[in-house]
Copies of this chain bind each other. A is one copy, B any other.
Amino acid sequence: MADEASRIMVDFRTEPAKYKHWKLSANGPVATLTMDVKEDGGLRPGYELKLNSYDLGVDIELYDAIQRLRFEHPEVGAVILTSGKERIFCAGANIRMLNQSSHGWKVNFCKFTNETRNAIEEATAESRQGYLCAVNGPCAGGGYELALACDWIIMADDGSTTVALPEVPLLAVLPGTGGLTRLVDKRKVRRDRADFFCTLEEGIKGQRAVEWRLVDEVVPRSKLDETVQRRAAELAARSDRPKSAPGVALTPLPRTIEGDRISYSSIACVVDRSRGVAEITVQGPAAPPPASLEAIHAAGAQFWPLRVARELDDLFLHLRANEEEIGIWVFKTQGSVELVEAHDRALQDHAADWLVREIRLCLKRTLKRLDVSSRSIFALIEPGSCFTGTLLELALAADRSYMLDGTREGGAEKPATLRLTGMNFGAYPMVNGLSRLASRFLDEPGRVDELKRRIGEDLDARAAGEAGLVTFTPDDIDWEDEVRVGIEARAAFSPDALTGMEASLRFGGPETMESKIFSRLSAWQNWIFQRPNAVGDKGALRVYGTGQRSEFDRRRV
């Protein structure tokens, strides 16, 4: 059943006119995102989205709205997130949906919702588009986790409105979208209070919620709107976003899927089911970047860096949700090193512009999404490629990279080279807060400074190998065998063991709230999502709502 249902293809592309569950209204510097989930609007059959509960489809719209607010509404400095229902803010992720989902679907769902909550926080901190949450009714589980992603939580003080994380007592699972980590790490709720709160089905309301730091303020129901609007106006006033610039429309992504070939304007992906491989070729820009900032704005969604970011992002989401058995993503690039470099220069020269800032952030988010994807990532660097600057990040994100040393026998193309640009040195931090170069050279941070002095230099295979930028540099004689063996071996390993290994090796060094959410809280949740106490015949998640009592194996592990 679960397997059948998950074969429905998920499309992450949407737009406000198609929203079923959210209303986006932008009115001057303050926008409002209203959650009003359509009960019979679930992504898959078999469950009703009661009480403003959500499934992946609801979250896809939220993700789209957050993205559009940044690009299409430069004038918006504050976003109010609230409920359109009379008596409920949000009951969290839909339990029936979870119950009928495969393990993989649940985990992928949580990953995406986590990324979307992180995007809310990034919009607040870096796009200066701050999120406030107006909690106008009971707010539980994933509902409260949505509130926790906002910078300021205002709750109605009306006797029925509470915040709660009832997953442990009700469902025998964890809050799946960063709730536990945000409680103690973001809001710094005292750990014993957090412990008590997370075991309370009914949640906490009123002044105690403020005292315990669970919300920022409570106001009488009658003052909620007024207070929220005032706070939002204050927040918007502190934003550095332009007050009256025109936005950039995020035009529909052109994508065609023909058999096992997925094509975008600048990306071609070929799925090889027998080998479990998706070969992803990114096409460099065909022309120099627009000559001025004005021309970049005029190009909008057609400006190559934004186009590539959006297309890669969509491809990653598509492959994650719809191609679970494709465990290896192999990246290639094609095009002109100089033109990629020129586009990177534009991203640097105009970094202070609001649109260019958004494009850089969009690339950053997309590359972070790649890092936390549970797929093996390989990069193949061959003649004709343009692993330069922003595109070099794909090779640096790879678990392993192969660079052809020299030319191909009989080939006309020059040997492949790598080229660093200023964009490799901090513009695209990973979830651990470090650039991919800094993560790579934890042993000798000084090497990053050395590499900075080599920006613009063409690094052939030997130089790239010596600089530590690639893993292996076979020549034409060995290339085919070495790459083939590497991929075949990878494909033969246990997908689960690879996922745990990659999550552990990719993020050396420091931790951040985000990295804690992805690599620690998620790992615990994945474990619990497998345990009979949650998902067995008598597990709490399984029997929820049936009137049956759950039965637990009492052994502590």
Q: Output the nearest chain B residue to A323 by Cβ-Cβ distance.
A: B556
A188 engages B443 (CB within 8 Å): yes
A residues whose Cβ falls under 8 Å from a Cβ of B? 102-104, 107-108, 167-169, 171-174, 180-181, 183-185, 188-196, 198-199, 213, 276, 324-327, 374-375, 398-401, 439-443, 468, 471, 489-490, 493-506, 508-511, 516, 519-521, 523-528, 530-531, 533-534, 540, 550, 552-557
Complex: A399 Cα to B190 Cα, angstroms: 10
* Cβ–Cβ contact B324 & A494, under 8 A: no
**Nearest B residue (CB) for A188:** B443
**In the bound complex, how far is the Cα of B530 from the Cα of A533, in angstroms?**
13
- Shortest Cβ distance from A525 into B: residue: B500
Contact of A556 among B375, B468, B524, B550 (CB under 8 A): B375
User: If the complex has contacts A439-B191, A501-B174, are A556 and B168 also in contact, measured as CB distance less than 8 A?
Assistant: no
Is B440 in contact with A195, judged by CB distance below 8 angstroms? no
Q: Which residue of B lies closest to A200 (CB)?
A: B489
Is A494's CB under 8 angstroms from B398's CB? no
Residue in B closest to A489 when the chains form the complex, CB atoms? B199
Sort A-B residue pairs by CB-CB distance and give the 8 closest, nearest first.
Answer: A172-B494, A184-B508, A523-B523, A188-B443, A500-B524, A511-B511, A180-B504, A324-B555
Q: Is the CB of A104 within 8 A of B516?
A: no
Closest partner residue, chain B, to A171 (CB atom): B497
A531 nearest in chain B by CB position: B496
For the complex, give the distance between the alpha carbons of A327 and B557 in Å: 10
User: Of all chain B residues, which has the CB nearest A532?
Assistant: B496
Query: Once the chains bind, are B493 and A199 in contact (CB under 8 Å)?
Result: yes
User: Can you list 24 contacts pairing A with B, beta carbon distance less than 8 Å?
Assistant: A104-B555, A104-B556, A168-B494, A168-B498, A168-B501, A174-B500, A184-B442, A184-B509, A188-B442, A190-B441, A191-B439, A192-B398, A325-B554, A325-B555, A494-B540, A494-B550, A499-B556, A499-B557, A500-B527, A511-B516, A523-B527, A526-B527, A526-B557, A527-B527
Residues of B within 8 A of A495 (CB): 533, 552-557
Compute how far the CA of A490 lies from the CA of B196 in the bound complex, rounded to whole angstroms.
10
Shortest Cβ distance from A379 into B: residue: B192
A393 to chain B, nearest CB (A): 14
Quick one: which of A213, A490, A495, A556 has the most chain B CB within 10 A? A556
How far in angstroms is the closest Cβ of chain B from A498?
7
The 8 Å CB contact of A190, one of B189, B440, B525, B556, is B440
Nearest residue in B to A325 (C-beta to C-beta)?
A: B554
- A554 CB contact (under 8 Å) in B327, B504, B554: B327
Taken together as a complex, chains A and B put the C-alpha atoms of A523 and B493 apart, in Å, by: 20
If A172-B494, A496-B528, A499-B524 are given as contacts, then 6 extra A-B residue pairs at C-beta distance below 8 Å, sorted by A number, are A104-B557, A167-B497, A325-B556, A326-B556, A495-B553, A523-B523
Q: Are B509 and A510 in contact (CB under 8 A)?
A: no
Q: Is the CB of B185 within 8 A of A508?
A: yes
Name which of A174, A324, A496, A555 has the most chain B CB atoms within 10 A of its CB. A496
Residues of B contacting A526 with CB < 8 Å? Answer: 523, 527, 557
Looking at the assembled complex, report how far the CB atom of A513 sits from the nearest CB atom of chain B, in whole angstroms: 10
Q: How many angstroms from the CA of A173 to the CA of B497 in the assembled complex?
A: 5
